[in-house]
Amino acid sequence: MKINNICCIGAGYVGGPTMAVIALKCPDINVIVVDKNEDKIKAWNSDDVNQIPVFEPGLKEIIEKVRDKNLFFSTDIKEAIEKSEMIFLAVNTPTKTNGQGKGMAADLTNIENSAREIAKFANNNKIVVEKSTLPVRTAEKLKEILEESSNKISFQVLSNPEFLAEGTAIKDLFNSDRVLVGGDQTKEGKKAIDALVDIYKNWIPEKKILRSNVWSAELSKLASNAMLAQRISSINSLSAVCAKTGADILEVSKAVGADSRIGNSFLQPSVGFGGSCFQKDILNLVYLSKINGLPEVAEYWHQVVKINNYQRKRFVNLILEKFENNIFNKTISLLGWSYKKDTNDSRESASIYVAEMLLDEGAIIKIYDPKVSNSQILKDIENILILKDINAQERTQIMNRVKIYNDVYQSCLNTSAIAILTEWNEFKNLDWLLIQEKMTDSYLIIDGRFIIPRNKLPKKLNLISI
Ligand code: NAD
Ligand code: UGA
């Protein structure tokens, strides 16, 4: 079955880059990316490619090549569904904030709404591809919704989870370690799997394309994220042991990672993992384990998230200790807001939690990030204060203690401490002598990313790492 037209519902961090790469690698396929968010689609269509809503190295160059040739961004979901033989779902699936499974299970409202739209507008047989990260057996539910209102139209549901990491999305999509395609093990299901595999074969070597049943594909995605995050929490838990014993976590990480059975990736200690997915997907796995009567398994994975929360808190405690537990009215600069370098995404960034804890202690904070917009930073802080049930008047008072800068040196002016929260390359080569001159007292640099070279710092500065 040759696919000529595809569409993707959801023009976010996954939908945008994945469809751009498919359009680039498959010039004979027409790709439409649709979203209900009009502003986002406008931004994707903006004449100035620097204004596209996702910052990813290499993405804007691809957009320049393929946009309006075989890649289109639109809000017309009906037309996109009608035209396409294959429909990807790359909508967000956040943690539920109410109802059954609140705070744990994935909220599938966007997935279900998309399925209803497909059922409503589909005029012929469709292959529906889950790109979003979903709990095991979502495909079953999707099929039910699709088949509820459609007469004589047949749907095949595939699971094709996305493994790209932000900041390296284009590289990851060009050279994926593996592409996973799960589908029904029936004749029709296998035909649908082949149709999707044929698309990937345009640039991914066939030996890297794994076929499986739908449930395995869905679970493999949760399992991969859980195991990656588990390594970070493992090394971070050991960083706490290092702080108590005098061992050096970088030396421990190097020694452990040198064992080829363990490997050295995802062993970088940090202020804690962030991003929209690790915590969400682990909590989802915890919930799945619980409802399947596996409390020990649920608790095992829950610890990964608990250690991450602990690490953020430990970071703030390290600052507090240096100020004898009193940072009231102290000015602290936070360098980096995104959850990792090379992305403008700040979802679940450790910086949000660190900022909130510092503000709670009465500190004044000055923030600098090279890519996250000032309005997003303010929104992130406001949102966490709302989540903590802080009333509007108090919120305004707290927000008055937040200042955002577009120049890193300005953000360090008159500060007592500087916290490094994101590993942006530009922080590796700062003029520390200039920064020292701008600081007022204490001269504390607390590095949550291990990027500040100890031996290059002027004498007055006092560097500690997480
Ligand atoms: P996102 O929030 O950046 O984008 C999702 C988009 O879907 C939004 O623009 C939203 O407006 C749109 N949307 C939601 N419901 C819609 C509907 N009914 N109709 C039309 N548009 C709708 O999210 P994301 O980061 O791209 O993540 C999407 C999914 O991919 C999630 O399940 C996530 O877990 C998974 N994932 C994300 C990453 C990542 O790096 N961000 C990597 C792998 C997998
Ligand atoms: C992660 C996975 O790496 C992707 O494979 C997956 O597709 C994606 O989640 C998803 O499902 O959304 P991402 O969150 O974009 O990708 O970025 P990572 O590179 O995994 O980093 C996540 C967080 O862990 C960041 O805050 C990063 O700074 C932190 N981290 C990472 C560490 O603290 N130490 C490490 O050794 C590695």
pLDDT of residue 375: 97
Please check whether residue 117 is in contact with residue 9, taking contact to mean a CB–CB distance below 8 angstroms: yes
Q: Tell me what the pLDDT averaged over the chain comes to.
A: 96
Distance of CA 276 from the midpoint of ligand 2 (Å): 9
State the ligand closest to the CA atom of 78: 1
Judged against a pLDDT cut of 70, whether residue 234 lies above it is answered with yes
Distance of CA 93 from the midpoint of ligand 2 (Å): 17
Q: CA–CA distance from 188 to each of 1, 81, 89, 176 (Å)?
A: 11, 20, 20, 27
Distance of CA 192 from the midpoint of ligand 1 (Å): 23
pLDDT of residue 455: 83
| Residue 412 annotated in active site | no
Three-state DSSP string of the chain? CCCCEEEEECCCCCHHHHHHHHHHHCCCCEEEEECCCHHHHHHHCCCCHHHCCCCCCCHHHHHHHHECCCEEEECCHHHHHHHCCEEEECCCCCECCCCCCCCCCECCHHHHHHHHHHHHHCCCCEEEEECCCCCCCHHHHHHHHHHHCCCCCCEEEEECCCCCCCCCHHHHHHCCCCEEEECCCCHHHHHHHHHHHHHHCCCCCHHHEEEECHHHHHHHHHHHHHHHHHHHHHHHHHHHHHHHHCCCHHHHHHHHHCCCCCCCCCCCCCCCCCCCCHHHHHHHHHHHHHHCCCHHHHHHHHHHHHHHHHHHHHHHHHHHHHCCCCCCCCEEEEECCCCCCCCCCCCCCHHHHHHHHHHHCCCEEEEECCCCCHHHHHHHHHHHHHHCCCCHHHHHHHHCCEEEECCHHHHCCCCCEEEECCCCHHHHHCCHHHHHHHCCCCCEEEECCCCCCHHHCCCCCEEEEC
Regarding the beta carbon of 32 and ligand 1, being less than 6 Å apart is answered no
Which two structure tokens, joined as six digits, stand for 454?
């100890």
Residue for token digits 């029936």?
A: 186
Long-range contacts of 147-151 (CB under 8 A, 24+ apart): 147/119, 148/119, 149/116, 149/119, 149/120, 150/119, 150/122
Quick: pLDDT tens for 366-417.
Answer: 999 999 999 999 999 999 999 999 999 999 999 999 999 999 999 999 999 9
Mutate to test the pocket of ligand 1, among 225, 228, 277 (most ligand atoms within 8 A of CB): 277
Quick: pLDDT tens for 27-83.
Answer: 999 999 999 999 999 999 999 999 999 999 999 999 999 999 999 999 999 999 999
Judged against a pLDDT cut of 80, whether residue 149 lies above it is answered with no
Distance CA 8, CA 35 (A): 8
Q: Which listed residue (7, 26, 242, 277) is catalytic?
A: 277
pLDDT of residue 453: 86
Regarding the beta carbon of 13 and ligand 2, being less than 6 Å apart is answered no
Distance CA 371, CA 304 (A): 28
Percent of the chain predicted with pLDDT > 70? 100
Q: Which atom of ligand 1 is nearest to the CA of 16?
A: 26
pLDDT of residue 148: 85
pLDDT of residue 1: 84
Regarding the beta carbon of 138 and ligand 1, being less than 6 Å apart is answered no
Distance CA 87, CA 96 (A): 25
pLDDT of residue 63: 98
Residue with CA closest to ligand 2 atom 24:
273
Mutate to test the pocket of ligand 2, among 277, 369, 372 (most ligand atoms within 8 A of CB): 277
Percent of the chain predicted with pLDDT > 90? 97
Q: Is 141 exposed, middle or buried (0-12, 13-18, 19+ CB in 10 A)?
A: middle
Judged against a pLDDT cut of 70, whether residue 140 lies above it is answered with yes
Distance of CA 27 from the midpoint of ligand 2 (Å): 31
Distance of CA 458 from the midpoint of ligand 2 (Å): 33
Quick: pLDDT tens for 301-329.
Answer: 999 999 999 999 999 999 999 999 999 99
94-109 average pLDDT score: 95
State the ligand closest to the CA atom of 93: 1
Residue with CA closest to ligand 2 atom 11:
277
Judged against a pLDDT cut of 80, whether residue 285 lies above it is answered with yes
160-174 average pLDDT score: 97
Q: CA–CA distance from 314 to each of 61, 247, 331, 390, 413 (Å)?
A: 41, 17, 19, 23, 25
Distance CA 301, CA 289 (A): 9
Please check whether residue 8 is in contact with residue 31, taking contact to mean a CB–CB distance below 8 angstroms: yes
Distance CA 191, CA 186 (A): 8
Amino acid at 262: I
Regarding the beta carbon of 228 and ligand 2, being less than 6 Å apart is answered yes
Mutate to test the pocket of ligand 1, among 9, 91, 172, 342 (most ligand atoms within 8 A of CB): 91
Judged against a pLDDT cut of 80, whether residue 183 lies above it is answered with yes
State the ligand closest to the CA atom of 112: 1
Residue with CA closest to ligand 2 atom 10:
277
Residue with CA closest to ligand 1 atom 32:
132
Residue with CA closest to ligand 2 atom 12:
277
Distance of CA 100 from the midpoint of ligand 1 (Å): 22
Judged against a pLDDT cut of 90, whether residue 151 lies above it is answered with no
Distance of CA 234 from the midpoint of ligand 1 (Å): 28
Regarding the beta carbon of 239 and ligand 1, being less than 6 Å apart is answered no
Distance CA 38, CA 223 (A): 34
131-150 average pLDDT score: 90
> In which band, very low, low, confident or very high, does the pLDDT at 150 lie, cut at 50, 70 and 90?
low
Distance CA 362, CA 212 (A): 53
Mutate to test the pocket of ligand 2, among 224, 233, 284, 340 (most ligand atoms within 8 A of CB): 340
